[in-house]
Chains A and B, each alone.
Chain A
Amino acid sequence: MLAIKDLQAGYGKVNVLKNINIEVPKNKIVTLIGANGAGKTTTLRAITGMIKSTSGHITLNGKPISQMPSYRIACLGLAHSPEGRRVFSSLTVFDNLQLGAFPRLTGSRAKGDFKGDIEKAMELFPRLKERRNQLAGTLSGGEQQMLAMARAIMLNPEIILLDEPSMGLAPILVEEVFKIISRLKSSGITMLLVEQFAVAALNVADYAYVMENGKIVVEGTADKLKNDPAIKAAYLGAH
């Protein structure tokens, strides 16, 4: 589905990513874990054209997307729920969801059942249903996270990139977010999940990459990594 080969990218002249190779197969959840500043968010930003990659290849269903502007990548069915949620604060919850489906509503992507999908998204995130006509800027952090995820789903995407959904949330909300991710998984979604909260990410993912200083240092099935003593010590907290 999504294949990243020898990706290099950075900010200005500083190269952050060093030869990143990641593959996300269809209907699988792949997670990218690692400490703060390892380059996880930068990887996602390079995939969706928020920063331009300096070398390497990124393909979506075999189609090269490396040098495309963000909006065209989105039209191809790659949804990116960015770090820090980035909901549109002066628009309502409903408007935010509608904009998530912008390519579908403007003819750049198959329209499908837009109304049905809105209802489905509201069912998946009941809090949003209650706040349908409220401005997104007035939502709590947890609700904004739900909205950011629901907005990404509204694209009817081939694949979702989800960046740190647990950031700044109370433990109970983190649990709720991960419950929703596993529900999405059972409906057959394809996802690249970036998380600092490695235990939760490994529990829901099929495959995992561990990042350190802009490089992939370890990769393997989520089960294997969960039980790897070195990983445990470094990222999962050795109890």
Chain B
Amino acid sequence: MDIFIQLIYSGIALGMIYGVIAFGYQLTFATSSTLNFGQGEALMLGAMVGLTLSNLGVNYWLIIPIVCIFGLVQGSVVEYFGVRPAIKIKSEFGWIMSTIALGVIFRNLAENIWGRGTYRFQGPVADEPLKIFGANILPMEILVVIGAVAMMLMVEIFNRKSIYGKAVIATANDRDASGLMGINTSLVITFSYALSSLTACFAGVLIAPLTLAGASAGGSLGLKAFAVAIVGGLSSGFGIIVGGIILGISETLTGFYISTGYKDVPSLIILLIVLSIKPSGLFGKTTIKKV
């Protein structure tokens, strides 16, 4: 029983990471109806840049803001070179290939800089597990959950309270009308990409002490987070948290009780079921336009 609860704990922590990455997908989808398929690579870059800083002796708490700034820059680059040209010519699919291509380029670049191995990333808290309800939980797992929730809350508060955040929501609602309000909507879309990569890089630094950091680790995380975004709904903030936790737990349980070789299977089966029964996601809204 203890081991079961322990698996639930790790599943939740993992799920929150998926949730944060999925949150990043939502940010760009809202403003531009496009996604950064290199999100997983952004996470990996965040972890690797963080690891390098950590090896240089930089304090973990100082690494976080530096990596976040790195994420802002990385996301802007992806938007400027990969997405903007496609949006300009109103291409429906151009951005898919270009964001994947940029992701591959980033991965190759990272593999050449850091090699293909995986490295230990020292977290800021003790490695000794705590006992909660009789089961072990790592302090880092608690930190992951807190960090993930804090990140999403901060973006939510920014969107709802600040005039710039409202400009982001307005652009998501109606891009042309936002332009008429004096909002530079191209800049808003660049910003949403920057913010989306920031959340991914932040997630990378959060998860790296629990797993291992490696230049090839991004792809599958990005893909599973995409499954979370689809399961939870691309428009529902609550949905990705629930979706993330469902997928995270199903993964840790399968990995322990069946085989680690099959741990990715249940999440993808859940994805297929949701797509066939409720394509807008468990919590997604089908929008109704008033004319």
Query: B163 contacts which chain A residues (CB < 8 A)?
Result: 98-99, 102, 105-106
Within 8 A of B (CB), among A95-118: 95, 98-100, 102-103, 105-106, 108-109
Contact of A74 with B180 in the complex, beta carbons under 8 Å: yes
Q: Which of B167, B170, B179, B181 has the most CB of A within 10 A?
A: B181
Across the interface, do B169 and A70 meet the contact criterion of CB distance under 8 Å?
no
Contacts of A72 in B (CB 8 A): 182
Listed stretches A58-66, A85-93, A182-190; interface member: A85-93
Chain B contributes a number of interface residues (CB within 8 A of A) equal to 22
Neighbour of B179 across the interface among A70, A141, A151, CB < 8 A = A70
> Contacts A98-B163, A99-B167, A106-B163; is A70 near B173 (CB within 8 Å)?
no
Q: For the complex of A and B, list the 5 residue pairs with the smallest distance between their C-beta atoms, beginning with the closest.
A: A70-B179, A74-B182, A103-B182, A86-B177, A88-B173
Inter-subunit contact B176/A99 (CB<8 Å): no
Shortest CB distance B289–A (Å)? 9
Chain B residues, CB < 8 A from A90: 169, 172-173
Q: B258 contacts the other chain (Cβ, under 8 Å)? A: no
* Cβ-defined contact, A82 with B182, below 8 A: no
Q: B123 to nearest A CB, angstroms?
A: 38
Chain A 45-71 residues near chain B, CB threshold 8 A: 48-50, 69-71
Does B166 make an interface contact (CB < 8 A)? Answer: yes
Contacting residues, chain A, for B166 (C-beta < 8 A): 91, 95, 98-99
Q: Is the CB of B182 within 8 A of A109?
A: yes
Which residues on the B side are within 8 Å of A108 (C-beta)? 182
Q: State the CA gap A214–B208 with chains docked (Å).
A: 62
Nearest residue (CB) in A for B177 is A86
Interface centre among A99, A106, A141 (most CB of B within 10 A): A99
Structural contact, B167 and A102, CB atoms closer than 8 A:
yes
Interface membership of B174, Cβ < 8 A: yes
Q: Apart from A99-B163, A99-B170, what 10 extra A-B contacts exist at CB < 8 Å?
A: A70-B180, A80-B180, A88-B178, A89-B290, A90-B173, A91-B166, A91-B170, A99-B166, A108-B182, A155-B182
A88 to B170, CA, bound (A): 6
Which of A69, A88, A151 gathers the greatest number of chain B CB atoms within 10 Å?
A88
Binary per-residue interface labels of chain A (138-152) against chain B in the complex, 1 for a CB within 8 Å, 0 otherwise:
000100100000010
Whether the Cβ atoms of A91 and B182 lie closer than 8 Å is no
Beyond A90-B169, A90-B173, is A100–B290 a contact (Cβ under 8 Å)?
Answer: no
Which chain B residue has the least Cβ–Cβ distance from A45? Answer: B176
Cβ of B99 under 8 Å from chain A: no
**Complex: A72 Cα to B179 Cα, angstroms:** 8
State the majority secondary structure of interface residues on B: helix
A105 CB to nearest chain B CB (Å): 5
Q: Does B185 contact A (CB under 8 A)?
A: yes
Q: List which B247-291 residues lie within 8 A (CB) of chain A.
A: 290-291
Given A70-B179, A109-B182, are A91 and B291 neighbors across the interface (CB < 8 Å)?
no
C-alpha gap A137/B185 in the complex (Å): 21
Does B183 make an interface contact (CB < 8 A)?
yes
A69 nearest CB across to chain B (Å): 7
Residues in B183-217 with C-beta less than 8 Å from chain A = 183-186
Interface of chain B residues 123 through 172 with chain A (CB within 8 A): 163-164, 166-167, 169-170, 172
Is A82 a contact partner of B179 (Cβ separation < 8 A)?
no
Q: Say yes or no: B173 contacts A89, CB within 8 Å.
A: yes
A71 to B188, CA, bound (A): 12
Q: Digit string of A119-152 for contact with B (CB within 8 Å is 1, else 0)? A: 0000000000000000001000100100000010
CB nearest to A108 among chain B residues: B182
> Given that A84-B291, A90-B169 are known contacts, is A71 also in contact with B177, CB under 8 Å in the complex?
no
Shortest distance from the beta carbon of A46 to any chain B beta carbon, whole Å: 13
CB A236 to nearest CB in B, in angstroms, measures: 28
Cβ-based interface call for A75 (8 A): yes
If A88-B170, A106-B163 touch, whether A82 touches B176 (CB-CB below 8 Å) is: yes
